[in-house]
Structure 1
Amino acid sequence: MAEYNMSHMVRPQGFSLEELRQTLGQSMIREQCYFIYATSNIVEIMAGFDQLLNQEEIEFGAEQLAPVYVTGLMVYLLHHDDMVATLVKRTLFLQKCFDYMACTEETHIHQICVYILGLLDTNSSSTMLNLILGCRVASPLSTMARVVGNCLLWAMLDHMSDLGLDSHRLRPAGTLLLVVAVVKPRVYVQSYLHALHLVVRLISSILVVGPLGGQGQQLCQETGAPEDLMKLAKDDCSIIVRWLIAIVEELRPLMVENNDLGHLHERLVLLESICELMQLLHGHLVKCYQEKSDLQSK
């Protein structure tokens, strides 16, 4: 299992302005966005980037575009006063960032993800939780966001479970069975609870962004990927369900008998993530059986 900063963050905490400045300060567009040091107002920060994008001052290229997408994600999750009031503006800004010079060619996407992961510290569980949320929010907004988000989620899952994936690209949903085979419920519940929570959350997010989010086939059409790429087979779905049940069975005695209150919150959040994924998979199985029943009745 990959080593990372076990900060025991169990929910996304968002990014600070200082984190945004540090991240962009090491990027290829650092000389074009000095304005972020002159203000702490998120609306002014978005306006500054809007000007850069509207005038196409940032050139095409993976190393130049990666920080644009990172900016969209970080600004969307940026700590500031009255986040509710800026939600629409932040969402539109996130969409605009991913739409900027969008190109879903496979090699370009791989390089984009390499540079994004180079800018963000995914050894930090806090950053990982933020990025998971950012990918889920961004994915419905544009094709580019769906592709990049999907690839980033797979990259993080690879990091957590040592799958040995060789590139950042769209992957068949059945690849998740490799994770189920590697991540043993008993071992992880006993020794790697935080990692297990991240793995479950990542699997759920990959399915939401991909085959079970209602836009899987559209994504295949828009990118030219095979239609089967974004389909989760019924048998594969059942295997993941059984894996989740095994995790719950391992958690059950700890919830009832264990007096270690220090990990209670994390166990509860893990169960919450499992429930979300279970609901997602249950809905998919119901749909599969309904389709089979409809075929048999014809």
Structure 2
Amino acid sequence: MFDHLERARLATLPTPIEDAGRPTVGGPRVWIKRDDLTGLGGGGNKARKLEFLCGDAVARGSKALLTVGASQSNHCRMTAAAGARLGLEVHLVLSGDAPAVGEPRRGNQLLSEMFGAQMHHTGAAESHWGELEVVREALTDSLAAEGLAPYSIPIGGSTAVGALGYALAFEELIDQFEAQGSMPRAIVFTSSSGGTHAGLLAGRAALIASGRLTLDSAPDVVAIGVAKGVNLGLPDVASLANDALALMDLDATVDPDDVEVDPNWMGDDYAVPTEAGTAAIAWAATTGGWLMDAVYSGKGLSGLLGLVASDRWGADDDVVFIHTGGWPALFA
């Protein structure tokens, strides 16, 4: 399904799955899929997307990568690392203001600086992604005029090409569970820009179409929405998944009814911490030594723990949480 596609080998794969036990008596067994250990630039889910995005960029002859994100964007940090690995110039369009003169960068910005990225601060609020995309488009035109043939990546790397990374990750996860003689009832993860979600649904549809899984045996794909857009149905995840399936040359379809987003764990807004998220971060740290952040993975885990507490799954079920990374933001 993937051999005909351009791919830059950037991630350390496969990532392990770890047993997190049963958070509630009589509840499901929870597993952590350690996509915080993808290796590139401190790890995280974006390494999988960047393998296909950067493969496409190199094939097109691009000399620069350009993307956008919040002030502590994990995606931007990892794009900077990918550029360093591949010898490409990297430009990052970020929310918020630049640090004051003499003030050091922290967290993901510090790492992006170490990887050699050029940062363009917009002053925009963390959740005003439209403003970032306007600047990205203008900067893309400017870099093109300089002859850099920039490869311009929307927020989160959430394109059909980027989604291929999680179509492949779905197959990897199923391989791991089949090897230990089990099958998860559900895959739960954090979603903000929709690309990881689309990729997982594309991978699920691909394995059903191949006959490897059935509709009854295939795990549910449950997104915990942490941004207003994805909670309102933007982008169109099913459409993005189907575009990814088309790139895979597969006659398979994701139906809009396959898309499940739980909007109850975002709190007031994107990047605003919640009490449940803070409690989930503490649970992860004390249960397995897992590091999660308040913007993304911590809120996603709070959603999983909340669904477990509501008895959505029973004692006979296995549920996987994909740990998408984000630990550098803890140091900001």
Question: Do these two structures clear the TM 0.5 threshold for a shared fold by scoring above it?
Answer: no
TM-score bucket of the superposed structures, by smaller chain: under 0.3
| Higher strand proportion (structure 1 or 2) | 2
| Higher helix proportion (structure 1 or 2) | 1
Higher relative contact order (CA 8 A, sep 6+): 2
TM-score, length of structure 2 as denominator length: 0.23
TM-score, length of structure 1 as denominator length: 0.25
Larger Rg: 1
